[in-house]
A and B are shown apart, each in its own frame.
Chain A
Amino acid sequence: MKRLFLVLAIITVLVVAPVLHSTGAIRPASAQEPVKLTFWNYWDGKNGETIQALVDRYNAEHPDVEIENVFVGWNELLPKLQLAVAGGDRPDLAAADMVWMPYLAKSGALVPLDSFVEASAIAIDDFYPALLNVNTYDDQMYGLPVSTNNLELFINTDLVAAAGLDPATPPTTWAELMDYATQCANPDEGIVGMELYTQTGEGLTWQYQVYLWQAGGDFLSEDLSQAAFNSDAGLRALQYWLDLIDAGAYAISDWGLFGQGQACMVMDGSWMVGIWADTAPFEWTTAQMPYPEDGEPATNMGGEHIFIMSDDEARQQAAWDFIQWVTSAEVQLEWDMETGFMPIRDSVATNPDFQTWIEENEPRLMPFVEMQQYAHNRPPVEQYSELSDVFSAMIERAIYGQMSPQEALDAAAAAVNSLLR
């Protein structure tokens, strides 16, 4: 009996001890201790350094708050947020892909910001409306944009010049792009003319959307209830991709050729300007994305939105104070200059100092700044991730020649419609 009691006592201590330890760590913040907040985001590289510097500065200027900036990779952030909500150790605030905002806003895991916005006199009208759309659910705002970007044309001037083309006159129409790419491509050396994203996933969907919008089409109907991409415009956009492949301007491969110096051109995001400025082993420039002569300029936009998850009032207020600071025009100006992100506020975009700064420091950002007004947002539906995967799976089949483009678009429309029901 004594032995049994002893063993049970040991087991109890072993099981209970870890729990005791963690509850001991949660003490209500005393007046002298700073409020500790955890801030999750997936910014890495230059963006990661910049946000860390901003957080450090905020901590230094606000001794009553200590924010811990935690990097979580893009692939892991959403699953980790989900696990954190289930496991009870959610971060106080986080910045995540705008595409996830409809889902997160609806989930009930985010704190509505309307009361904070009203109480703090933040100039909400200064933010681009398209950006605020994705954060709204049930007439409540669940996040604020903190960064944005769009897609334009990158040109490897070394390869282009070697092919006998003039880097100073980039293509401005689809026809010119086709010529440029076909001339520059060199299959024997593994050089493609125009790199496309051809693997299943959002990478393909969001690139395709640019061509779709340029051709005058829409991805979903206006009431977001069904697919609209299997229209003439949609077919035209897909056919253009297939024509590029047939003409030899692109050969199917994994993404990343441009960065390795094996693609003459690619449509990529403004965030790559900062990255390639540091790392590209070749000369390059940017230009507005060509659109068909009877089409319209358009681009896709991405970016991150920042939101509050904490369920403690004091921490919510502290988190809001940081959000207000980091989305203010002054900090955003600095943020954009360091990272190459596009302005989320009109006052930043039209700021003459900003424009001069760009011209003097990184004129290659100009096409992105000028085109931000033509950026469309992706449909703010909560099933967007699944929609994107089933859509791109069908398009991939067309690219591999397993389906005709019209069949692929129709199959994709059927799959998308069944998800939207």
Chain B
Amino acid sequence: MTAIARMRTGWNRANRRGDLSAAALALAPAIVLFALFNIYPLLYSGYLSVMEWDGFSPDKEYVGLDNYKALYESAMFRNALTVTFTYTVGTTLLGVAFSLLVAVLLNSGIRGQNIYRLVYFLPVVTSTVAAAVVWRYLMNPGSGYADVLLRDLGLTPPSPSWLRNPDWALRIVILVGVWKRLGFNIVIYLAGLQNIPKEYYEAATVDGAGSWDRFRRITVPLIAPITLLLIIMSIIDSFLIFDVVYVMTDGGPIGTTEVVGLLLYRQAFRYFNLGTASAMGWVIFAIVFVITLIQWKFFGAREAGL
């Protein structure tokens, strides 16, 4: 080897070692924090889930899989799962579909696009609790703006009130959930839409395709990886919903908005059954994990090839 070549290989080897240790150092703080605040609590709650502990006393009692069995037999937990599934499907479908529509409209070159993006994104950065409190006031019978407006438009609100009607309470909560995430989905879709080459649309128009055809056959397929991503994110996020429900309905009326997040909070912090709450947490984790896995396998494999 020439001297220069030898130097170059030497440099490469040295750089690789240097690169590795630099990378490790750079990642170390993040890894340490992640391990401390994510991995450790995860494992500890797994440990708690086979115990019975009230959070205060120094002794914990080993109960094996009793907590999991109790959850399996609990009608309350089953109801919570149903409610949470309904909420998740509702917010995901409505949220993703509606945001795609809005993103396409925004992308069509109308003026003031930035202002629209700001307005849609504001709910995303608003505190969920603050937003939920305001929404609760808006739906107040007789005095809330939304309730009054709908009455003026001729709609009779359900009895006794929007949030205390067993059929409507969950729908309102879903509405707030969709509203909250809309901007986030729109912004991501906009970025994706801008990556679709304009030539495809021009070619399609030349071939005589109408706007619906262009949307269905060009936009939707090409935007599919983003759709998949947004659906997965929305499902994970919606399954864990807690603050909106806690503030607006506290699980009522008659358990129609009682999501698993709420049950978990009550078990842990009102009834002090930390073992049950931990088991619940792990069951929720398992469910979300399986759903995500299924989605990725069935829909992701195709898109990954793109």
Contact = CB atoms under 8 A, between A and B. Distances in A.
A400 B253 contact: yes
Interface in B169-190: none
Contact of B56 (A107, A190, A400): A107
B161 A253 contact: yes
A107 B54 contact: yes
A385 B271 contact: yes
Nearest to A393: B255
B142 A108 contact: no
A291 to B, nearest CB: 28
Contacts of B29: 11
B160 interface: yes
Contacts of B57: 106-109
A47 B69 CA distance: 46
Contacts of A53: none
Interface residues of B, number: 29
B252 A396 contact: yes
Contact of B164 (A253, A385, A389, A393): A253
Contacts of A253: 141, 160-161, 164
Interface in A82-125: 82, 85-86, 103-104, 106-109
In this complex, the member of B21, B28, B272 whose beta carbon has the largest number of chain A beta carbons within 10 angstroms is B272
A interface, over-half SS = helix
Contact of B55 (A86, A190, A252, A397): A86
A206 to B, nearest CB: 15
A11 B28 contact: yes
A251 B270 contact: no
Contacts of A397: 254
Nearest to A386: B271
Given A11-B29, A107-B56, A402 B254 contact: yes
A254 B139 CA distance: 12
Contacts of A385: 270-271
Given A11-B28, A252-B160, A393 B254 contact: yes
A86 B25 CA distance: 33
A103 B160 contact: no
B166 interface: yes
Interface string B17-43: 000010001001100000000000000
A108 B25 contact: no
Interface in B251-270: 251-255, 266, 269-270
A106 B54 CA distance: 10
B interface, over-half SS = loop
A252 B29 CA distance: 54
A417 interface: no
A383 B76 CA distance: 17
Contacts of B28: 11
Interface string A245-271: 000000111100000000000000000
A4 interface: yes
Interface residues of A, number: 32
A7 B269 CA distance: 41
B162 to A, nearest CB: 11
Contacts of B159: 252
Contacts of B109: none
Nearest to B58: A108
B142 A190 contact: yes
In this complex, the member of B57, B159, B270, B273 whose beta carbon has the largest number of chain A beta carbons within 10 angstroms is B270
Nearest to B265: A79
B66 interface: no
A190 B251 CA distance: 25
Contacts of A358: none
Nearest to B255: A393
B303 interface: no
Interface in A365-392: 383, 385-386, 389-390
A406 interface: no
B271 A400 contact: no
A37 interface: no
A59 interface: no
A397 B28 CA distance: 54
Nearest to A104: B56
A199 interface: yes
Contact of B269 (A4, A78, A201, A402): A78
Contacts of A200: 250-252, 254-255
A254 B25 contact: no
Contacts of B164: 252-254
B142 A396 contact: no
Contacts of B272: 82, 103
Contact of B266 (A103, A106, A190, A389): A389
A389 B56 contact: no
Nearest to B142: A190
Given A109-B56, A385-B271, A199 B160 contact: no
Interface string B111-149: 000000000000000000000000000000110000000
Contacts of A402: 254
Contacts of B271: 383, 385-386, 389
A396 B269 contact: no
B300 to A, nearest CB: 37
Given A7-B25, A386-B270, 8 more contacts: A85-B55, A190-B142, A200-B254, A252-B160, A385-B271, A386-B273, A393-B254, A400-B166
27 contacts: A4-B21, A4-B25, A7-B25, A82-B272, A86-B55, A104-B56, A106-B57, A107-B56, A108-B58, A109-B56, A109-B57, A190-B141, A190-B142, A199-B252, A200-B254, A201-B250, A252-B160, A252-B164, A253-B141, A253-B164, A383-B271, A385-B270, A386-B270, A386-B271, A390-B76, A393-B254, A396-B252
Interface of B: 21, 25, 28-29, 54-58, 76, 141-142, 159-161, 164, 166, 250-255, 266, 269-273
9 closest residue pairs by CB, A with B: A107-B56, A386-B271, A79-B269, A252-B160, A108-B57, A82-B55, A109-B56, A107-B57, A385-B270
